[in-house]
């Protein structure tokens, strides 16, 4: 019913405000005392200031910028982790957040149990994850260890299982954190091939990264965020070059 030209991700006038001062009070006792004494200062921090952007289906966008500029806050409002204080966020399609590999993994549980736990954490069903189990194990090359508690796995094995479980999805929108490729050289190539597969199938791709080369390679468009605003938005190569030049000029000689 809707036309195909609707953006996959649309932000209009999105601001995110943190209440720094009152949120720093960590104990209920102190909070209650301050409340009673009327000493509640509401220092605020604007992590995003009226950001508007539209990302078309199939676009591959990298988000770059210095630490504390609002990159992760932007990511969080798109990933639905935080609601914008003002403005509106629309995301069309199934979203796969490939942000935290192995989130929810527990050492005492077997590989199989962890894959199911992780999948349901992303809102999938147990049956769905059981159906995918063989494929996930095969990709991770861990068929023989699926019923072993993962505390007996090596770091590389856990990473492989986590990557396989997280990317065995067919989403419309992928939210990717930097350094997603894991394991040894050979497995990294496999990771890159899978990510390239998503790209070739025309998935919308949003990548947050410090690695400018990664953004230049995988993205067609880059958005440079600075102090909660969009500093520059355009072709990845152009924006990355401009950002690099700016970062160099800011660096002490």
Partner 1 sequence: MDAGTPVYDSSRRGLRFVEEARELWAYRHFVFELASRDIKVRYKRSVLGVAWTMLSPLMAMVVFTLVFSKFQRLAIPNYPVYYLSATLFWTFFSQATSHVGSLTTDALEIANRIYIPRSVFVASAVLVGLVNLLLSLIPFVLIVLVTGCPAHWTWLFLPVSLVIGTLFTAGVGLVVFTLALRFVDVRDMYQAILLPWFFLTPIVFDQSFVPPSWRWVLRYNPMTYLVEIFRAPLYNGWLPGPNTLAFAVLAAVASLVAGWLFYAWKVEEYGLRN
Tell me how far, at minimum, the Cβ of 42 lies from partner 1, in Å.
13
* Rounded Cα–Cα distance for residues 194 and 198 (Å): 7
Residues 113-172 that bind partner 1 (CB under 8 A): 113, 116-117, 120-126, 149, 172
Q: Is 27 in the site for partner 1 (CB under 8 A)?
A: yes
User: 220 with 59: CB under 8 angstroms?
Assistant: yes
From the list 83-91, 136-144, 201-209, 223-231, the region that binds partner 1 by CB under 8 A is: 83-91
Pairing, β 221-226 against β 9-19: unpaired
Q: Is 103 in the site for partner 1 (CB under 8 A)?
A: yes
* Rounded Cα–Cα distance for residues 222 and 44 (Å): 29
Please say which residue, 65 or 97, places its beta carbon nearer to partner 1: 97
Residues 38-57 that bind partner 1 (CB under 8 A): 45, 47, 57
Please say which residue, 100 or 217, places its beta carbon nearer to partner 1: 100
Sequence-separated (6 or more) residues with CB below 8 Å from residue 116: 126, 129, 130, 133
Please say which residue, 21 or 242, places its beta carbon nearer to partner 1: 21
Length of the chain measured in residues = 253
Q: Which of 51, 55, 64, 77 binds partner 1 (CB under 8 A)?
A: 77
Q: Which of 35, 83, 135, 152 binds partner 1 (CB under 8 A)?
A: 83
Judged by CB under 8 A, the number of residues near partner 1 is 51
What 8-state DSSP symbol labels residue 184? S
Tell me how far, at minimum, the Cβ of 244 lies from partner 1, in Å.
29
* Rounded Cα–Cα distance for residues 28 and 119 (Å): 35
Name the helix (H) or strand (E) containing 93: none
Q: Which residue in 7, 122, 11, 20 sits closest to 68, CA to CA? A: 20
Q: Is 31 in the site for partner 1 (CB under 8 A)?
A: yes
CA 3 to chain centroid: 27
Q: Is 93 in the site for partner 1 (CB under 8 A)?
A: yes
Q: Which residue in 53, 58, 19, 90 sits closest to 219, CA to CA? A: 58
**Binding-site ranges for partner 1 (CB under 8 A):** 1-2, 4, 6, 18, 20, 23, 26-29, 31, 45, 47, 57, 77, 79-84, 87-95, 97, 99-100, 103-104, 106, 108-109, 113, 116-117, 120-126, 149, 172
């Amino acid at each position: 019913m809707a036309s195909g030209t609707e953006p996959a991700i649309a932000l209009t006038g999105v601001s995110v405000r943190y209440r720094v001062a009152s949120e720093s009070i960590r104990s209920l006792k102190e909070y209650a005392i301050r409340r009673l004494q009327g000493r509640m200062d509401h220092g605020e921090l604007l992590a995003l200031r009226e950001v508007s952007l539209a990302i078309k289906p199939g676009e591959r966008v990298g988000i770059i910028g210095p630490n504390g500029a609002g990159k992760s806050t932007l990511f969080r409002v798109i990933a639905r982790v935080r609601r914008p204080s003002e403005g509106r966020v629309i995301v069309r399609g199934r979203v796969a957040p490939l942000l935290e590999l192995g989130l929810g993994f527990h050492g005492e549980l077997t590989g199989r149990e962890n894959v199911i736990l992780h999948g349901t954490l992303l809102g999938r069903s147990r049956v769905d994850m059981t159906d995918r189990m063989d494929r996930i194990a095969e990709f991770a090359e861990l068929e023989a260890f699926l019923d072993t508690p993962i505390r007996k796995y090596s770091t590389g094995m856990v990473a492989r299982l986590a990557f396989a479980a997280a990317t065995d999805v067919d989403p419309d929108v992928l939210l990717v954190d930097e350094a997603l490729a894991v394991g040894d050289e050979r497995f990294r190539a496999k990771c890159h091939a899978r990510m390239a597969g998503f790209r070739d199938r025309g998935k919308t791709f949003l990548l947050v990264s410090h690695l400018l080369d990664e953004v230049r390679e995988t993205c067609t468009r880059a958005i440079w965020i600075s102090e909660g605003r969009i500093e520059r938005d355009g072709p990845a190569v152009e924006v990355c070059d401009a950002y690099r030049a700016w970062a160099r000029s800011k660096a002490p000689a």
